[in-house]
Amino acid sequence: MSTTTESALLRLMPSAYWRSMRFSHLYRLTIACGLTAYYFFWQAQLWQAHFDGKLYLKLALSYLVFSLIASLLSWLKISLLDRRLTFIAIVDIGFIVTLIYAAGGLESGLGLLLVLAITSASFFSDGRLALFYAAVATIALLLEQSYQFISWTQYSVDYTHAVMLSLSCFATAWLAHSLSRRTIQSEALASQRGIDLENMAQINQLITEEMQDGILVVDKDFKIRHHNAQADELLGSVQTDAAMLTQYAPEVAELMQRWMDNEEPLKISGAPHKLRLNDRELRLRLMPIGSQRQEGAVIFIEDWSQFQLQAQQMKLVALGRLTANIAHEIRNPLSAISHASQLLQEEDTKDPAIRRMLQIIGDNVTRLDQIVKDVLELNRRDRTQQELITLEKFLQDFYMQFCLTERIPDAGFNIKLPDHAERVLFDRRHLNQILWNICRNGWRHGRQLAGSLTLSVTPSGDSLDIAVSDDGPGVSDDIIPHLFEPFVTSESTGTGLGLYIARELCEANDARIQYRKSNTGSMFVIHLKRQSTQ
């Protein structure tokens, strides 16, 4: 066999190659068995007087042994002879031509076996080798006919049968090779198409698995053909391996049944359907697989609550930018009002009404200035300068500064620090602002007695929990779900931005803040990541 053709067969279709070679060897073994059996069972009809029985039997048995060995090697996938197809073809031609001589010449009819042998060899070779086999067979036939003329006593010699048989060998060799080449090309194309389809299927599966939306492919019998992991998560299905949609997600199956029974035009069949499931608001879009809904559907599942959250965040970002610009414009006239109020307060006036109005102006200027500071802080939450902070020293400095600035007695604010040094990675300015807002709220809402405000640090696995508790009345249940939302406050003088900014600053530093109910009042806990002290 030629190296190019054989390697192409082995590369593109190794199983088909071995299967074809086994059939070829089986055919050769069958022919050898038939030639051997003919000698034993049909001796009364042997051809003419030139039949050499002993030579014929030896050649038939030798051919049988060779065919049997080749078949066994091919069955065991030992490529000792299969990689030597040219040698096998020449051996076949040699055996068949010598058997023709021993059987009494071409009149025996064994010349047809020569055509079949060349056809079989041509299936596994390129064009030049196929013609080479035909040429070898032609030369062998002409030599056999010439030897008959020399060795046998006959009155004439006829090359007509040999020539016709030679032409048949050339014709069948070329046709067999052409058919084989087309077959190889077709199988190579089919194999490539199969690889392309497999690659496309893997790409589609990868895309669906990485999508944020859930995907369900359901046929007309409500059998699930495909679904991704996101669909399992959004639908909260327990039976993720269920084959039927009625078991996987009964609510979706009911929705799909209504969709299939609906007679609205297909052009609006992709309209979203709302479905609330497992405390989630889902939006489902059903698209028909074929031209009609009854053939099945592809179901796209979206987490509508997540979309609403993203929309709210976008609104807050836009609002933050707008309010920041407005705050910059307010600050200049606000400073002028504050300065004018201070100048009026310095005048020696005895009218209490005027003094009261000046005090009101000063208080409201201070309030407006605090609102401006909070609004401006909204746009600075992502500007973090994290550093390793030794928590014990930082909290001691914060405690002293906070008590001094807010005029809180030492007995009113208790602090409990860890026994050993702990370090966290945080923006120092952000952590100071978070603790200041929480502690100031706690003192303002507490009873302002001894031990009304407590700050404690508790290690918890890989994190540190900073808890700030007070002895106030606590937060009402209707405000707790909206506690960290902007502009939510229970006070008429509050801005509602303190806790919202605290949460944003925590998230900017990979931390988390939460509210916990306490028996004595309120408690806010900040979860920080611990850093190695080495």
Query: Residue 421: pLDDT above 70?
Result: yes
Average pLDDT over residues 299-328: 72
Task: Return the pLDDT at 4.
Answer: 46
pLDDT of residue 453: 92
54/51: higher pLDDT: 54
Task: Say what the pLDDT of residue 380 is.
Answer: 59
Instruction: Determine the 3-state secondary structure of 423 from DSSP.
Output: strand
pLDDT, the chain, mean: 77
pLDDT over 50 at 8, yes or no: no
Closest CA to 38 of 118, 114, 141, 110: 110
C-beta separation of 453 from 468 below 8 A = yes
In this predicted structure, which of 53-57, 59-63, 182-186, 366-370 has the lowest mean pLDDT? Answer: 366-370
pLDDT band at 524 (very low <50, low <70, confident <90, very high): very high
Q: Which pair of structure tokens corresponds to residue 338? A: 């504050």
Section 243-255 average pLDDT: 85
Predicted local confidence at residue 243, as pLDDT: 80
Q: Which of 28-42, 133-147, 262-276 is the least confident region?
A: 262-276
- For the ranges 93-97, 153-157, 163-167, 481-485, the lowest mean pLDDT is seen at 153-157
Q: Do 503 and 513 meet the contact criterion of CB atoms below 8 Å apart?
A: yes
Task: Enter the CATH code of domain 308-378.
Answer: 1.10.287.130
What CATH number does the domain located at 386-531 have? 3.30.565.10
Measuring CA to CA, which residue among 453, 434, 444 is closest to residue 493?
Answer: 444
Confidence of residue 302 (pLDDT cuts 50, 70, 90): confident
Instruction: Look at residue 10 in the predicted model and tell me its pLDDT.
Output: 44
Question: CA 140, 141, 146, 151 torsion: positive or negative?
Answer: positive
Question: Band of the pLDDT at 534, cuts 50, 70, 90?
Answer: low
Give the pLDDT of residue 525: 92
Q: What is the CA radius of gyration of the chain?
A: 47
Q: Where are the domains of the chain?
A: 3-194, 212-304, 308-378, 386-531
Phi and psi angles of residue 249, each rounded to the nearest 5 degrees, phi first: -150, 90
* Cα–Cα distance, 205 to 391 (Å, whole number): 48
Alpha carbons 180 and 177: distance in angstroms, whole number: 5
To the nearest 10°, report the CA torsion of 476, 480, 484, 490: -20
Residue 344 pLDDT grade (very low, low, confident, very high; cuts 50, 70, 90): confident
Reported as a pLDDT band with limits 50, 70 and 90, residue 77 is low
pLDDT at 7: 46
With CA atoms as reference, report the closest residue to 47 among 143, 90, 111: 111
- Could you tell me the two tokens for 330? 């307010």
Q: Is domain 212-304 classified as CATH 3.40.30.10?
A: no
DSSP run (H or E) holding 409: none
Task: Tell whether the model's pLDDT for residue 382 goes beyond 70.
Answer: no
Mean pLDDT is lowest, of 157-171, 209-223, 308-322, for: 308-322
Banded model confidence at residue 56, pLDDT cuts 50, 70, 90: confident
Q: Is the pTM of this model over 0.85?
A: no
Ranges 200-209, 250-259, 318-327: which has the least confidence: 318-327
- The answer on pLDDT for 128 being more than 60 is yes
**Between residues 14 and 301, which one has the greater pLDDT?**
301
C-beta atoms surrounding 455 within 10 Å: 21
Q: What is the pLDDT of residue 26?
A: 81
Buried b (16+ CB within 10 A) or exposed e, 229-248: ebbbebbebeeeeeeebeeb
Average pLDDT over residues 113-133: 76
Question: What pLDDT is stored for residue 212 in this prediction?
Answer: 76
* b/e burial code for range 29-40 (CB count within 10 A of at least 16 → b): bebbeebbebbe
pLDDT value, residue 312? 66
Q: Which pLDDT band holds residue 152 (cuts at 50, 70, 90)?
A: low
pLDDT surpassing 70 at residue 448:
yes
